A and B are shown apart, each in its own frame.
Chain A
Amino acid sequence: MAGSGKAHLRAKEETLLRVEDLTVEFPVGRGKVVHAVSGISFDIKRGETLGLVGESGCGKSTTGRGILQLPRPTAGSVILDGENLAGLSNEAMRQKRTDLQMIFQDPVSSLNPRRTVGEVVAEPLEVWGPANKDEQWAKVSVMLDAVGIDPDVARYKHPHEFSGGQCQRISIARALVLEPELIICDEPVSALDVSVQAQILNMLEDLKAEYGLTLVFIAHDLAVVKNISDRVAVMYLGKMCEVSESDELYAHPAHPYTQLLLTSIPMPDPLVTIDRQLSEDEGLPSPINPPSGCRFRTRCPFADEICERVEPQMRRVNDDHFVACHHPLVTIEESEVTISA
């Protein structure tokens, strides 16, 4: 899309999380506003992993934080298990946050350097869990063990005594200790070496199977996102371009932006031909003054007059594949077209 629409949303009863028309704007003075996220909708089923991809500045991290109401979105609803988080009072939201946890990009700076690992992972339980220290430790040690850290060795050590990969395991244990419904992973492996990245990705898959986790996985690396996600949403400049089941999206990208992202990936295979055309592509336009109509039109090879005038709406390509584009790269049967207004 760089467009709007809700054709890709599934029945309310099936989903754990349903985000509708989420808008996050930040005032930057002189009456100007950064349109970080502009009316996006998506949903997640229980036990599913949704990948959110896009270039830096496309609003993917802001979307993740918007779900957590950190900060409160400008508009839109975030319905978790039938309850609209946007309508909750601050205290009710605080209570609700036990169901929502987050894993951050930089594992070393997301752990308090002055606390021991035992304290860091027990912190959520200090607030919400059993008051008894032994009961807390019992839970913490189970969690540390599940992420591949020896609990008895780690308990009295500090984060600096661990490598980046181990620190990320510790922050995953901290996120899991309250048994949340939904975990938002914001670039959890992009600060890690490739050999360690594979360990963490495999572990997330195992934990997901064991604890029935539902994940929102935010990343800029399309190969990583494909590996872990059931469904992928491509974002561009605060809008949603394309939502699809992962294998289908990578096999038959329908949005020109998805296509651009996919052809840009450097492939670890010398036999793959590289598109060597030079361009003056300047990247993302300013989110303060986004282009009219389709926001991708300034970089799109297919853009024409309608893209400037009319914002494209989400349309169904097939079963679980939706695109918001006036000139998609696949044929869409007219009968399936649903243009609202």
Chain B
Amino acid sequence: MPTAGADATRLTKSQQTEPLLVVEGLKTHFATPNGLVKAVDGVSLSVARGKTLGVVGESGSGKTVLSRSIMRLNTAGNVITHGRVSYDGEDLLQESPKEMREIWGVEMAMVFQDPMTSLNPVVRVGRQMTEHIRHHLKVSKSEAAETAIELLRSVRIPEPEARFSNYPHEMSGGMRQRVCIAIALACGPKMLFADEPTTALDVTVQHQILNLLEQQQKDRFMTMIMVTHDLGVVAGRTDEIAVMYAGKIAEKAPTGELFADMRHPYTESLLRSIPKINQPKHTRLAAISGRPPDLINPPSGCAFSPRCPYAQPKCFEQTPPLTAAPAPGHQYACWFPVGSPEGNQAWETNMAAGRLQTLAAAGELNATEDIPATIGGG
């Protein structure tokens, strides 16, 4: 079966331990009439074979642009990309568009957010699936059709033979997303990007699609990057999480470690601002004041400082580097990390000074978007 994908047993020992994807200092900027939008601004990360990395952030944090930059899908004329994207030893940023065509689908594939618009509405589902199977795997029409029906069955679509000749509008949103997943899996990619794969779907369907992605990843030994704004989606389903803010990585850690011992105030604020079903009704939420940053003129120093409950004068002047935490694989970019003596001191100082962001985070104040960023004296 050509759809077998990567297989752990086929790889040599050194290949297994070496990460499949290494991104170093990746910057993606967009030249616009208003200035340079620094959507991704110096991101470094690596993903080991067969593992899942979750990329979390709010809208405008650069998480989608990051995954598109790695796959070289940013084709607009105003894109400026720097850095290194090493996939299986090859630098993708140096590949020609023609070479990229042979990498897409076979080596890496993407599942997009909106299953309503990522399928062609006037082409039957079957043809959308067989088109690139035939191109990449050089098989006959009937063999490609067989493969496609087998794929539809593997993504749990009932009556795949009948569905093969449906148009997208004849299917529900969840079914269409299953088709999109089947298309992404068709040529057995070693690496799968899922960009908000369930955001447009109902909670019950979301649960099924996430289960499906997870099972397919295990069966095919795929490496996966899951991009989402929902910490709930990545919590139980990833090996590692990178939290992005203003085009940079704010914190990165193995999933269990991140939730058990979060260091960055943004990660903490994000988690605390989500309503949870095990809280009693009318629980006051710890809101984050302000709004996501402007990427043309990001705040000086730490980009989160204007909204941060821990911010000190230093944070407004100096950009914190990614620092290693004691636990292996845990990094954070903060001068006054959560839970550290300096962090606690910073919180106390801000509470005593009545910094509005800190009061809002403590749930003692109704945060608005217009709280001024400066702190007393600083």
Contact = CB atoms under 8 A, between A and B. Distances in A.
A260 B204 contact: yes
Given A268-B232, A270-B236, A224 B275 contact: yes
Contacts of B366: 148, 199, 202-203, 206
Interface string B344-378: 00000000000000000000001111100000000
B291 interface: yes
Given A199-B367, A278-B215, A264 B287 contact: no
A243 to B, nearest CB: 15
B367 A276 contact: no
Contacts of A90: none
Contact of A269 (B173, B259, B281, B368): B259
Contact of B275 (A199, A227, A261, A273): A227
B231 interface: yes
A226 B156 contact: no
Contacts of B232: 265-268
B368 to A, nearest CB: 3
B159 to A, nearest CB: 10
B201 to A, nearest CB: 9
A266 B204 contact: no
B275 A264 contact: no
Given A194-B229, A247-B281, A269-B235, A283 B256 contact: no
A270 B255 contact: yes
B58 interface: yes
Contact of A199 (B58, B208, B233, B287): B287
B207 interface: yes
Interface in A204-231: 205-206, 220-224, 226-230
B208 A201 contact: no
Interface in B272-315: 273-289, 291-292, 307
B270 interface: yes
B175 A197 contact: no
A264 B279 CA distance: 17
Contacts of B173: 283
A166 interface: yes
A148 B277 contact: no
A274 interface: yes
Contacts of B288: 195, 198-199
A195 B281 contact: no
B124 to A, nearest CB: 19
B369 A226 contact: no
B103 interface: no
A281 interface: yes
Nearest to B212: A278
B285 A202 contact: yes
B287 A195 contact: yes
Contacts of B287: 195, 198-199, 202
Interface residues of A, number: 59
A194 B273 contact: yes
B204 A201 contact: no
A229 B229 CA distance: 24
A270 B256 contact: yes
A195 B208 contact: no
Given A193-B229, A261-B203, A268 B275 contact: no
B286 A268 contact: no
Interface string A135-148: 00000000000001
Given A193-B292, A220-B202, A268 B276 contact: yes
Nearest to A267: B232
Interface in A257-289: 260-284
B59 interface: yes
A148 B259 CA distance: 32
Contacts of B212: 278
Nearest to A200: B287
A266 B174 contact: no
Nearest to B255: A270
A263 B211 CA distance: 13
Given A205-B282, A280-B156, A268 B274 contact: yes
Nearest to B200: A56
A196 interface: yes
A291 interface: no
Nearest to B368: A148
A284 B280 CA distance: 30
A199 B255 contact: no
Contact of A227 (B175, B230, B279): B279
Nearest to B158: A280
A246 B281 contact: yes
B275 A278 contact: no
Contacts of B273: 194-195, 197-198
Contacts of A205: 282, 284
Contact of A266 (B172, B235, B281, B284): B235
Interface of B: 58-59, 156-158, 172-175, 202-208, 210-212, 214-215, 229-233, 235-237, 255-256, 259, 269-271, 273-289, 291-292, 307, 366-370
11 contacts: A166-B369, A195-B307, A203-B366, A223-B276, A250-B277, A264-B203, A264-B204, A267-B277, A268-B235, A269-B259, A280-B158
- Which 5 pairs across A and B sit closest by C-beta, in order of nearness? A266-B232, A148-B368, A195-B288, A198-B273, A227-B275
Given A195-B270, A199-B289, 5 more contacts: A148-B370, A202-B366, A268-B235, A278-B215, A281-B174
